[in-house]
Amino acid sequence: MKLSEFGGEFKLIADITARFGNFHNVHTTVGDDAAVVRVGDSFMVITTDVLVEDQHFSRKWSTPCQIGLKTLEANVSDVVAMGARPELLLLNLVLPDGIEVEFVQELYRAIREGCERYRITLIGGDTNAGPVLMLGATLTGTTDRPVLRSGARVGDLICVTGDVGASCAGLMLLRKGVELRGRVRTRHLEPRCRHDVARKIAPFATAMIDISDGVASETLHICERSRVGAVIEAGRLPIHPETSTACRTTGIATIDCALSGGEDFELLFTLPPDKVAELKARVSDFTVIGEIVDRSRGACYLGPDGTRNPLPRGFDHFGLEKA
Amino acid sequence: MKLSEFGGEFKLIADITARFGNFHNVHTTVGDDAAVVRVGDSFMVITTDVLVEDQHFSRKWSTPCQIGLKTLEANVSDVVAMGARPELLLLNLVLPDGIEVEFVQELYRAIREGCERYRITLIGGDTNAGPVLMLGATLTGTTDRPVLRSGARVGDLICVTGDVGASCAGLMLLRKGVELRGRVRTRHLEPRCRHDVARKIAPFATAMIDISDGVASETLHICERSRVGAVIEAGRLPIHPETSTACRTTGIATIDCALSGGEDFELLFTLPPDKVAELKARVSDFTVIGEIVDRSRGACYLGPDGTRNPLPRGFDHFGLEKA
């Protein structure tokens, strides 16, 4: 049977991993941004991500520095979304035949600079030959209180940091052959995760996740793990003017880009309403975009015209609608 | 500059990683089977390995179960070679277009069985599409006393568990189109690491490493990290009769196969001479093959005719002699 007939990679992996045993003090397993393991009085979080050439990046569009940066930021984003401090990195490389030494050196330079920025120690890795460039990173972090996807409660507000959809808008422009500039260029080619605000938000948030697959998809993850519903008001989504312009240029609806565009590496979190003012005093850079509701009401967004639509699930890496 | 002109992947990565900072309580970094980090009164070890289709395995020759098994065993081998108990697994998959659901299910079934055998908890991973099948695993373990590569002392004996060269002999037969049977089949297609004896050896060993790149290469790693020399007596290398037969069939010198053949997943370790009897009482399945000598004497093997030859470095994954 083909993956597509089965319902795609997500369904398959969920189906398979459910059968594995838990032999250790594992706080949460497959299904969060990072796994959480109790270590003494604290928690260790561990995340892993693979970036595959022509799936997640292209050597045509990205410099080696940009590829290295994106790999590190994607992993740091997962760790900080758990409310944790990043600590230890393992880096796997698959290098295609004929790759230049200078390319690999530049790629590592960006990763080293990121490690210095976030005080991460590179502790190991594996390097192999293969048909395309691939980067696999495993990153640990520690926290006294992990913020899971499962803590959202009915009545909590749904919030996002920064603005959304810019990375996706950048990709759409690239695909049209347009050279990137400004916000959409930075967000697509040189994204930075929200390490700067994550630990300020963590003590207030009931659930948190980083936006790697899009606002809609991440909201659905929180709904599933927290067993709640959600209403997003599309009109409140924070969209940068340059993202809107790029959407017009490429002919995509801005709302689709903002709801389903991935790899923004902003944070989506839920917050009890009485904490908004207290958090705003510490972090100005977030927007309330919706509310957690009872599970029976489902997960939807209200269009600009007030219509109620189910949150789109986005697409998985095999081009299939997510199960 | 091409990788080959620079001196290969090992030199490049060593060159690059030396420039990274150590911001944490990391006991040993890049350069052992696994990284070692102090956690309270104990140590956590972490290893990561990537297996790439047509580099480390072939779907022509291996079943999905065999591929899954080999991935897990390779990582468990690294952890037990540190004297640690394996604990937590992260598994990354890159799946080529059109792969069958049943293939992925079988692959995971073998990994799940291995996890149950070794009491390992799967805690996360990432799945992506890509041009070939790839499996990336990250495995943690714990130990009160990690056995590093750096502890060998002049006068220690060099020992190996089991027998060596069988996996390489199996590969050579496959390349000649010969169907595998018996020892060389099991060792090449369904290897098992030495989880069964590693923790018995660990309290006695001054240094330990698993044989993934060959006896010669692993001995050189211990020499480099321990700043010592070594003499291996080729005539003492434990070689299974079926390995010798396979070598004759394929026309390779048995000694080359035993010294440089990789992926046996046996353990190579150093032992003070006065500990041999004590360890033999607990583990019968090891052979003394040589001695640690002063660094000034270099690292060599004595051929069957008594000639002294430098230990061959083996070949890295890009087909270059290792730097």
Please report the sign of the dihedral spanned by the C-alpha atoms of residue B147, residue B151, residue B156, residue B157. positive
Cβ separation of B101 and A23 shorter than 8 Å?
no
Task: Compute the average pLDDT of residues B195-208.
Answer: 97
Answer yes or no: is pLDDT of B321 > 70. Answer: no
Q: Chain A: residue nearest B141 by CA?
A: A24
Nearest to A270 by CA among A322, A213, A323, A221: A221
Q: Which 8-state DSSP code applies to residue A319?
A: S
Q: Token pair for residue B289? A: 């093959």
Confidence category of residue B10, pLDDT binned at 50, 70, 90: low
Please indicate if any CB of chain A lies within 8 Å of the CB of B85: no
pLDDT for A317: 44
- Candidate from A145-154, B21-30, B179-188 with smallest mean pLDDT: B21-30
| CA–CA distance, A184 with A245 (Å, rounded to integer) | 10
The CA distance from B302 to the nearest CA of chain A, in Å, is 32
Answer yes or no: is pLDDT of B320 > 50. Answer: no
Cα Rg of chain A, angstroms: 19
List CB contacts (< 8 A) between B56 and chain A: 128
The CA distance from A98 to the nearest CA of chain B, in Å, is 6
- Residue-wise pLDDT tens digits, B71-92: 999 999 999 999 999 999 999 9
Q: Is residue B80 within 8 Å of B194, Cβ to Cβ?
A: yes
Q: Strands across the sheet with A42-52, in order?
A: A26-28, A35-39, A42-52, A134-143, A85-96, A121-130
pLDDT for B16: 80
Q: Is residue B67 within 8 Å of B76, Cβ to Cβ?
A: no
The CA distance from B245 to the nearest CA of chain A, in Å, is 31
| CA–CA distance, A57 with A61 (Å, rounded to integer) | 8
Q: Tokens 């003590």 belong to which residue?
A: A203
Phi, psi (deg, nearest 5) at residue B317: -70, -10
pLDDT for B35: 87
pLDDT for A319: 38
List CB contacts (< 8 A) between B32 and chain A: 124
Phi, psi (deg, nearest 5) at residue B139: -130, 135
Give, in order, the Cα–Cα distances in Å from A296 to each of A180, A229, A273, B156: 43, 7, 21, 70
Q: Is residue A140 within 8 Å of A90, Cβ to Cβ?
A: no
B residues 10-29 near A, CB within 8 Å?
A: 12-13, 16-17, 19-24, 26, 29
Cβ separation of A94 and B122 shorter than 8 Å?
no
- Residue-wise pLDDT tens digits, B100-151: 999 999 999 999 999 999 999 998 888 888 999 999 999 999 999 999 999 9
Please indicate if any CB of chain B lies within 8 Å of the CB of A121: yes
* 3-class DSSP assignment, residue A69: helix
List the end-to-end C-alpha distance of chain B, in Å, as a whole number. Answer: 16
Please indicate if any CB of chain B lies within 8 Å of the CB of A130: yes
| CA–CA distance, B254 with B246 (Å, rounded to integer) | 9
| CA–CA distance, A34 with A28 (Å, rounded to integer) | 9
3-class secondary structure for A183-214?
Answer: HHHHHHHCCCCCHHHHHHHCCCCCEEEECCCC
List CB contacts (< 8 A) between A322 and chain B: none
Cβ separation of A46 and B21 shorter than 8 Å?
no
Phi, psi (deg, nearest 5) at residue B148: -95, 175
CB pairs under 8 A between A and B: 221
| CA–CA distance, B66 with B50 (Å, rounded to integer) | 15
* 3-class DSSP assignment, residue B218: helix
List CB contacts (< 8 A) between A317 and chain B: 127-129
Cβ separation of A20 and B92 shorter than 8 Å?
no
Cβ separation of A129 and B90 shorter than 8 Å?
no
Q: Can you give the pLDDT of all 323 residues of chain A as single tens digits?
A: 777 777 666 677 777 877 788 777 676 655 666 889 888 888 999 999 899 999 888 898 899 999 999 999 999 999 999 999 999 999 999 999 889 999 999 999 999 999 999 999 998 888 888 999 999 999 999 999 999 999 999 999 999 999 999 999 999 999 899 999 999 999 999 999 999 999 999 999 999 999 988 999 999 999 999 999 999 999 999 999 999 999 999 999 999 999 999 889 999 999 999 999 999 999 999 999 999 999 999 999 999 888 999 998 864 444 333 32
The CA distance from A144 to the nearest CA of chain B, in Å, is 15
pLDDT for B97: 86
- Residue-wise pLDDT tens digits, B258-317: 999 988 999 999 999 999 999 999 999 999 999 999 999 999 999 988 899 999 886 444
Residue B47: beta bridge partners? B139
Q: Is residue A210 within 8 Å of A217, Cβ to Cβ?
A: no
pLDDT for A147: 94
pLDDT for B28: 64
B50-B25-A149 Cα angle (round to 5):
65
Which residue type occupies B191? P
The CA distance from B233 to the nearest CA of chain A, in Å, is 31
Nearest to B241 by CA among B231, B256, B229, B254: B254
Confidence category of residue B319, pLDDT binned at 50, 70, 90: very low
pLDDT for A321: 35
The CA distance from B128 to the nearest CA of chain A, in Å, is 6
pLDDT for B96: 92
List CB contacts (< 8 A) between B138 and chain A: 46, 48, 90, 138
More confident site: B125 or B154:
B154
pLDDT for A10: 67
How many CA atoms within 13 Å lie on the side-chain side of A167? Answer: 27
ipTM beyond 0.90?
Answer: no
Q: Is residue A192 within 8 Å of A116, Cβ to Cβ?
A: no
Please indicate if any CB of chain B lies within 8 Å of the CB of A92: yes
Instruction: Report the DSSP pairing between strands A308-310 and A267-271.
Output: unpaired
Q: Chain A: residue nearest B51 by CA?
A: A128
